[in-house]
Structure 1
Amino acid sequence: MLQISLWKRVVIWALVALGLAYAVPNAFYSRVEQHNDAVAEIELYGATAEREADASAWPEWAPSNLVNLGLDLRGGAHLLAEVQVADVYSARMDALWPEVRNALRGERATIGTIRRQDGPEDELRVRISEADGMPRALELVRALAQPVVSLTGVGSTDIEVAGQDDIIIVTLSDAEKLATDDRTIQQSLEIIRRRVDEVGTREPTIQRQGDTRILIQVPGIGSASELKELIGKTAKLTFHPVVSRTGDGATDPGPRNVIYPSLDEDGVFYVLEQTPTVTGEELNDAQPSFDQNGQPAVTFRFNVSGARKFCEYTGENVGQPFAIVLDSEVISAPRINEAICGGSGIITGNFDITESTNLAVLLRAGALPAELEYVEERTIGPELGQDSIDAGKVASVIAFAGVLIFMALSYGLFGIIANVALILNVGLIFGLLSMIGATLTLPGIAGIVLTIGMAVDANVLVFERIREEIKAGRGPARAIELGYEKALSAILDANITTFITALILFIMGSGPVRGFSVTLGLGILTSVFTAIFVTRLMIVIWFERRRPKALEV
């Protein structure tokens, strides 16, 4: 037991050194953060003298990972948004209309003419002129139904088709509505996460709450309004055929048409066909750039499907205007001079560089499938976070000092060795948090404080076993050996069960509970490592040098 080979000693000290090396940057938080931000800006926008100076604030060869501070420590913005999932039903009906029209066109001899009728937004109503052909029409439309892709919708189809006199009524089935709601929330989560990540914020919390709500917490951002500006836009890019141009926004656009204002021309409105030819969902990429006049613009590139649609439409409508619409505003309405089959294009307007960059970010991240309605918003100032950090420091110092004094008074030299291991243990916790990029929250600080109290448990078990062996007449070497050997099972049992609890909290919990479980779980790992390996190695080194005839524990 007291013979630890050289390679094991090297590995133990190397792991300790590695953990401490990753923990050190947190002692120089502002400098390292300044360095990291400058390095990221240099990669994105190129080097400047100011950025180079900021990057030199921390050595390039040294680890620069930091423990991210959560919203309650750093300050930031908190939003609770409700996704208007019903908006998607209307979009689904609009997208289904061309398929229904094409399916019925081949049977005009039986069903007569086809015309879409106005109705509720979540319904598609189609009038046929020959009511006697209704059974055949219903058969054709029902053939368009697809199986519902969800565990709860097995065996169901996505649409329900009914006839009422000479009108075909198409609606989404209940199973498809449930599946659509779930897909809409998941898509919204992913798009919000992309948009927030694009601007480089650290460790945002973006998660689903209930059936239709999304919780968004972003540390380090200035205000809730700033966060809403970033994610509150749908950034829905669509391309519509132009019906007419008018100077009266109150003009009746007519059935299946919409009227949108021009973004660049004051007092100008465009009447457009409601169903777009191509949508932003078929974009592969969008990047800020400059037009032929050197003005900021945004270039975009379609996927294969979008490029094909764009090519077909522009080829069939040469000489006609074509509107580019962003969030219900016409950015531009150029005339089609020739078929555009390259799959790419450019959006120009009265942009500055910041606006073109933000627009590219939003388009690249994708369009939100539905509007967000904010039901709760808060801005947490950094001074509140600093108060939490200060309170956490005080609690940690008091707990730390209490444990150190207790161990030194109770176990003498062995207690001092345990205290050194405890200090290393805390350093290793921060090293691991930095390595994995974890976020430290106020409950996370509570987990560290709890770990400080629990970290000496293993040492107490070992030292008490050594005391018992000494009282039983064992020699120093044998007492130390048996102390570690007999205490090992109790140490592992206690820490494994606590680790399982932390794991369950992480899996089942969210937000603050997860923050607590992360630091608790990592603290258990480092506590076991320092108790079983580090303190034993220090005691062995001391024993090899002093060779005491008796032990006082």
Structure 2
Amino acid sequence: MNRYPLWKYLLILAVVAVGFLFALPNIYLPDPAIQISGNSAATKVEQSTMAAAQKALDAKGIKYFGVENDDTNGLIRLYSKDDQLVAQSAVQEALNENQYIVAVNLAPTTPQWLTSMGAGPMKLGLDLAGGVHFLLEVDTPQVLAEEMKNIETALKKFQREERMRGVFVRVDGTSLTVKADNEDKRNKFSSHIRSELQQLEFDRIERDGEFFVEATLSDVYIREKEAQAVEQNLTALRKRVNELGVSEPIVQRQGRNRIVVQLPGIQDTARAKSIIGKTASLEFRLEARPSELASKKTLFPYKDQEREQLTGGAYLENKVVIRGEHVNNAFAGFDPETSLPQININLNSQGGTLMNHATRDNVGRSLAVLFIEYHTRTETTLDENGQEVKTFTQIPDKNIISLATIQDALNASFRITGIDNPQEASELALLLRAGALAAPMGFVEERTIGPSLGAENVARGVDSVQLGLVLVLLFMLVYYKAFGFAANLALALNLTLLIAIMSLFGATLTLPGIAGIVLTVGMAVDANVLIFSRIREELAEGSPPQTAIHAGFERAFTTILDANITTFIVAIILYAIGSGPVKGFAVTLAIGILTSMFTAIMGTRAIVNMMYGNRPVKKLLI
């Protein structure tokens, strides 16, 4: 009685070994560091740049070690976190701030033999590791203005098809006015608006012998259109952040037209802004014929400066064949013939049809790939109450990256060349995959949460776990004696497994997550308390010690299982409907329930079996 077969002991031993191995990286604390990177993907961090950074640190008397450089990023480890901000400022002053970005960072110290096995420390959330917090405002008025332009185009097309003279259509912001020289024409337009443009609310007015239809977008439609724009931007931002590997980012809507973005572990505000706020896309246009009217073509410069100087740009048709939103997938690669960077593009069905029709009918003409990048200019003014008001202006920068002769009709899959370097190709491919933003965005608020704040939160969280753990261990030892010792060993194993699983699966630890760990400690002990209380009851009823142990574990199992299943369901619901801190709490709670079930039942039982099993026992220390 009260013996485990050998395979169970070996299983528990294997779980303990694996848990210890994957929890081990968490004892290697990261070094404070500063990171140097280029302001653009094309800028390399050379040895001369690192030498200038070290010289700046020496001049300030800041001690450092472990200088690393891989041409893309440079890293200098520091001895003290207190030196990070001073070092960042000194190096930024020494380097060209328009060319390089200097950010505070935390450099990992996990040994190579652990990382080669896939073991690494837990990821820390924004409240622990620091990071960046952005509040962005979606320029929904521009979305509505674009909608009104589309409506204006549709009405003018209707006017041409009906061959109506003496009718003028004008759009001003979100208002539309149709002026007709007689009532019949006015009524014909109002009927068309009622049947085809139901998003408009309109009135028919007669004034000074002229007939008007004055229309505006309905409030319901404005809300829907704004919501669509914000949701599309949310989707695009989430894809961008996810592809860049930021752990547990928070990207969520706030209010009517704002989006909150939190990126844990990132101290580089400028780099983070380029990740989430960059608006870049492609347009495919045919090169204009020499005989084309000036109003139907536009001169664009080449991105290649040498070609631009030689040719002075090229005239392209104003009509766009396809845009970036028609791209289903895009990935960077290299031209097998020239070894130059290229982007392989797959279009959706609509884009493939448009591209096929445009190229099929224009074999022999040149098709241009126009690269469009928007730069946000923020202007701050004071309102009548003296409060700062930020306005955002999107400044488009359009350059031709490719102009090639159409040899044959193109379909949904093709490639484009003319990209300067692999980094730029990868960045553009990422933006195309993530999807275009429905509307420009501006940064209303940005905050960098430094690692010092995170260190304070980590210290307090660790203190709370340690205090709770010590009190629980003392209580179990005093109250349950030898059985309390077994429970304490199982509890230590539980925490080890919890940390190992979170590290192995890349779960992010947040301050609420630490609260979940503290709760897990209590729940794990609670299961042992139920078992030990049941053993005491069996002993009080006169059962022999071995029978009491067996009955205690067997009969308490159902109660423990029911309690943990209900709590686990709650954790799943919290994760499903919650966000941010709530999810962090739910993750640690759910993992803690699973590990506590294993350690409190199998782990404690194995230790008790080794203490009392397979031998005569007259008295239990419980």
Same-fold status (TM-score > 0.5): yes
Q: Kindly state the Cα deviation for residue 282 of structure 1 after the two structures are TM-superposed.
A: 1.1
Q: Distance in 2 between matches of 1:55 and 1:96?
A: 60
1:134 aligns to 2:186 (yes or no): yes
1:330 aligns to 2:383 (yes or no): no
SS in structure 2 of the partner of residue 235 of structure 1: strand
Aligned to 1:35: none
Aligned to 2:137: 82
Q: Distance in 2 between matches of 1:14 and 1:321?
A: 63
Q: Kindly state the Cα deviation for residue 196 of structure 1 after the two structures are TM-superposed.
A: 1.6
2:170 to 85, 95, 117: 117
Q: Distance in 1 between matches of 2:455 and 2:408?
A: 56
Question: Structure 1's 494 and 126: CA in aligned 2 closer, same or farther, altered over 3 A?
Answer: same
8 Å contact kept, 1:161–1:168: yes
Q: Distance in 2 between matches of 1:28 and 1:200?
A: 22
Residue type matched to 2:147 in 1? R
Q: Distance in 1 between matches of 2:137 and 2:480?
A: 58
Q: Distance in 2 between matches of 1:450 and 1:399?
A: 9
Alignment of 1:35-50 (within 5 A): none
Q: Kindly state the Cα deviation for residue 93 of structure 1 after the two structures are TM-superposed.
A: 3.3
Question: Structure 1's 25 and 114: CA in aligned 2 closer, same or farther, altered over 3 A?
Answer: farther
Q: Distance in 2 between matches of 1:494 and 1:11?
A: 25
Q: Which runs of 5+ in 1 are unaligned?
A: 32-48, 146-156, 246-252
1:227 aligns to 2:272 (yes or no): yes
SS in structure 1 of the partner of residue 575 of structure 2: helix
1:389 aligns to 2:458 (yes or no): yes
Alignment of 1:175-214 (within 5 A): 175-214=220-259
Q: Distance in 1 between matches of 2:320 and 2:149?
A: 9
Q: Which runs of 5+ in 2 are unaligned?
A: 32-68, 72-108, 375-395
1:359 to 413, 421, 428: 428
Moved more, 182-191 or 499-508: 499-508
Q: Distance in 2 between matches of 1:456 and 1:541?
A: 20
Q: Kindly state the Cα deviation for residue 355 of structure 1 after the two structures are TM-superposed.
A: 3.2
Aligned to 2:621: 552
Q: Kindly state the Cα deviation for residue 88 of structure 1 after the two structures are TM-superposed.
A: 1.8
Aligned to 1:528: 597
- Count of equivalent residues: 510
8 Å contact kept, 2:300–2:399: no
Question: Structure 1's 289 and 548: CA in aligned 2 closer, same or farther, altered over 3 A?
Answer: closer
Q: Distance in 2 between matches of 1:318 and 1:3?
A: 85
Aligned to 1:284: 328
Aligned to 1:341: 409
Deviations 1:55-114 (A, max 9, x none): 992368834365322122222211121222232222333445555454454322xx3477
SS in structure 1 of the partner of residue 113 of structure 2: coil
Deviations 1:514-545 (A, max 9, x none): 21232123223322332223212322343224
Q: Distance in 1 between matches of 2:187 and 2:364?
A: 40
Question: Structure 1's 414 and 160: CA in aligned 2 closer, same or farther, altered over 3 A?
Answer: same
Q: Distance in 2 between matches of 1:341 and 1:102?
A: 29
Moved more, 12-21 or 268-277: 268-277
Aligned to 1:471: 540
2:553 to 484, 490, 507: 484
Q: Kindly state the Cα deviation for residue 317 of structure 1 after the two structures are TM-superposed.
A: 11
Question: Structure 1's 288 and 531: CA in aligned 2 closer, same or farther, altered over 3 A?
Answer: closer
SS in structure 2 of the partner of residue 395 of structure 1: helix
Q: Kindly state the Cα deviation for residue 140 of structure 1 after the two structures are TM-superposed.
A: 4.0
Residue type matched to 1:183 in 2? Q
Aligned to 2:39: none
Q: Kindly state the Cα deviation for residue 171 of structure 1 after the two structures are TM-superposed.
A: 4.8
SS in structure 1 of the partner of residue 535 of structure 2: helix
Q: Distance in 2 between matches of 1:339 and 1:130?
A: 52
Question: Structure 1's 357 and 167: CA in aligned 2 closer, same or farther, altered over 3 A?
Answer: farther
Q: Distance in 2 between matches of 1:191 and 1:11?
A: 45
Aligned to 1:154: none
Aligned to 2:519: 450
Aligned to 1:305: 350
8 Å contact kept, 1:281–1:366: yes
1:513 aligns to 2:558 (yes or no): no
Q: Distance in 1 between matches of 2:575 and 2:110?
A: 36
Residue type matched to 1:200 in 2? G
8 Å contact kept, 2:110–2:120: no
Aligned to 1:216: 261
Q: Distance in 1 between matches of 2:110 and 2:555?
A: 52
SS in structure 1 of the partner of residue 491 of structure 2: helix
Question: Structure 1's 28 and 320: CA in aligned 2 closer, same or farther, altered over 3 A?
Answer: closer
Question: Structure 1's 367 and 550: CA in aligned 2 closer, same or farther, altered over 3 A?
Answer: same
Q: Kindly state the Cα deviation for residue 173 of structure 1 after the two structures are TM-superposed.
A: 3.7
Aligned to 1:45: none
Q: Kindly state the Cα deviation for residue 440 of structure 1 after the two structures are TM-superposed.
A: 0.5
8 Å contact kept, 2:25–2:114: no
Q: Kindly state the Cα deviation for residue 28 of structure 1 after the two structures are TM-superposed.
A: 5.4
Aligned to 1:91: 146
Q: Kindly state the Cα deviation for residue 24 of structure 1 after the two structures are TM-superposed.
A: 4.2
Alignment of 1:22-41 (within 5 A): 22-27=22-27
8 Å contact kept, 1:94–1:275: no
SS in structure 1 of the partner of residue 444 of structure 2: strand
Aligned to 1:106: 161
Residue type matched to 1:346 in 2? I
Question: Structure 1's 309 and 499: CA in aligned 2 closer, same or farther, altered over 3 A?
Answer: closer
8 Å contact kept, 1:260–1:329: no
8 Å contact kept, 2:132–2:263: yes
Q: Kindly state the Cα deviation for residue 275 of structure 1 after the two structures are TM-superposed.
A: 7.0
Q: Kindly state the Cα deviation for residue 167 of structure 1 after the two structures are TM-superposed.
A: 5.9
Residue type matched to 1:90 in 2? A
Question: Structure 1's 179 and 416: CA in aligned 2 closer, same or farther, altered over 3 A?
Answer: same
Q: Kindly state the Cα deviation for residue 474 of structure 1 after the two structures are TM-superposed.
A: 2.2
Residue type matched to 1:136 in 2? K
8 Å contact kept, 1:85–1:370: yes
8 Å contact kept, 2:284–2:367: no
Q: Distance in 2 between matches of 1:306 and 1:208?
A: 30
Deviations 1:294-346 (A, max 9, x none): 76565645434234434545646986996825132221297785587314463
Question: Structure 1's 26 and 549: CA in aligned 2 closer, same or farther, altered over 3 A?
Answer: same
1:431 to 478, 482, 500: 500
Question: Structure 1's 286 and 100: CA in aligned 2 closer, same or farther, altered over 3 A?
Answer: farther
Calculate percent identity across the aligned residue pairs: 37
SS in structure 2 of the partner of residue 341 of structure 1: coil
Deviations 1:170-198 (A, max 9, x none): 65443333332232222211211111222
8 Å contact kept, 2:119–2:504: no
Aligned to 2:387: none
Q: Kindly state the Cα deviation for residue 442 of structure 1 after the two structures are TM-superposed.
A: 1.9
SS in structure 2 of the partner of residue 378 of structure 1: strand
8 Å contact kept, 1:234–1:370: no
Question: Structure 1's 336 and 113: CA in aligned 2 closer, same or farther, altered over 3 A?
Answer: farther
SS in structure 2 of the partner of residue 329 of structure 1: strand
Residue type matched to 1:188 in 2? N
Aligned to 1:543: 612
8 Å contact kept, 2:137–2:259: yes
8 Å contact kept, 2:282–2:369: no
